[in-house]
Amino acid sequence: MNNEIWPSLPLEEWKDTYETLHMWTQIVGKIRLVKTPLINHWWNSVLYVTPRGLTTSAIPTDTRVFGIDFDFIDHKLLIHVSDGITKSIPLAPRSVADFYADLMSVLKSIGIDVTIHARPDEVPNPIPFAEDHVHSSYVPEQANRFWRILVQVDKSFERFRSKFIGKCSPVHFFWGSFDLAVTRFSGRRAPERPGADAITREGYSHECISHGWWPGSGTILGPAFYSYTAPAPEGFEFQRVKPESATYKKDTSGFLLMYDDVRTARSPEHDILEFLQSTYEAGANLAGWNRAELERS
């Protein structure tokens, strides 16, 4: 295993593995979603970074609990149950349809009954999981590099999160948008979004400033850190933020800092924290957040 702390992850190089892994994490995330009660802004559905990959954490089922872990070192999907049962599925080149069928079969064999909305969310042209033979790539080294970046980003995000005493999300991984994120809240409700679907309505019910990292997609041609304020205050796009390489991107309504600019910096963590803090201040000051009550002195 390559032990480079901030490895490169060119989008075009790992695009096929990325798209397959995106579908696999959606299947696992949807299992957690349907088995747990709704928590603020869908926080009950997310995954978390671990020393080996990503996890659902404990999920209730009948009188037991179980968890599903992606292990990006040994490249296995592990299912642990509180009665001592452990099952595993290899993470290897295979279609989404095969992965979905295998995981559901394993869960059924150990008495875990679950039915999910078996179609991906937040992607163009979604293919039902049971019919998806398009996405079938998995390069272990690429998946491992992705996870190793998450480990470093998670540490920086946790440090940033510790300075806020208002309502704040955990640092968690959203399988729909495939990003690691942490979100701060002002404590005030946000205006209703006309025509918003249930996911958006719940996700943006309150004023927030969100920060995250994701591998890129669409017009973002590489991995990047992002920050947006919702609702965006007037003049937000004209604020100066740090480091100098950070820019405002109109089609995302937020600031971006490309990962490659960070990984090659003298101190990547310094640049990440500078970006998080300066973009938070830009949004919070313009939106009139009560920072004295929300921040640790």
- What number is the average pLDDT over the span 261-280? 97
pLDDT of residue 161: 98
pLDDT for residue 1 is more than 60:
no
Indicate the helix (H) or strand (E) that contains 227.
Answer: strand 224-230
Describe the crossing of helices 268-287 and 140-161 by its angle, rounded to 10 degrees: 50
3-state class percentages of the chain: helix first, strand second, coil last, to nearest 5: 35, 25, 40
Tens-place pLDDT, residues 59-95: 999 999 999 999 999 999 999 999 999 999 999 999 9
pTM of the model: 0.96
Is the pLDDT score of 177 beyond 70?
yes
Residue 155, pLDDT > 90, answer: yes
Quick: pLDDT tens for 39-51: 999 999 999 999 9
Give the residue from 279, 162, 141 showing the smallest Cα distance to 211: 279
Provide the pLDDT confidence category of residue 278 given band limits of 50, 70 and 90.
very high
Strands, E assignment, 231-296: 247-249, 254-258
Mean pLDDT of 168-190: 98
Above 80 in pLDDT, residue 172? yes
Query: Of 266, 219, 231, 224, nearest to 246 (Cα)?
Result: 224
Please list, residue by residue across 72-105, b when 16 or more beta carbons sit within 10 angstroms of its beta carbon and e when fewer do: beebbbbbbbeeeeebebebeebbbbebbeebbe
Phi and psi at residue 49, in whole multiples of 5°? -75, 135
By three-state DSSP, how is residue 90 classified? strand
pLDDT at 229: 98
Q: What is the mean pLDDT of the segment spanning 120-142?
A: 97
Give, in degrees to the nearest 5, the angle at Cα 239 between 193 and 184: 50
Question: Has residue 2 got a pLDDT over 60?
Answer: no
What is residue 3's predicted lDDT score, i.e. its pLDDT? 62
pLDDT of residue 205: 97
| Burial tier of 143 (Cβ tally within 10 Å: 0-12, 13-18, 19+) | buried
104 in Cβ contact with 28 (< 8 Å): no
Mean pLDDT of 11-33: 98
For the chain, give the percent of residues with pLDDT over 70.
99
**Rounded-to-integer distance, Cα 37 and Cα 44, Å:** 7
In this prediction, residue 281 carries a pLDDT of: 98
Q: Which residue's entry shows tokens 């397959």?
A: 20
Distance CA(255)–CA(186), nearest Å, equals 19
Which pLDDT does position 297 carry in this prediction? 84
Q: What is the mean pLDDT of residues 129-158?
A: 98
As a whole number, the mean pLDDT across the chain is 97
Q: Any residues with CB less than 8 A from the CB of 123 and at least 6 apart, and which?
A: 22
State the Rg of the chain over Cα.
19
> How far apart (Å, rounded) are the C-alpha atoms in residues 186 and 189?
8
Closest by CA to 212, choosing from 267, 251, 169, 266, is 169
Predicted confidence band of residue 274 (pLDDT cuts 50, 70, 90): very high
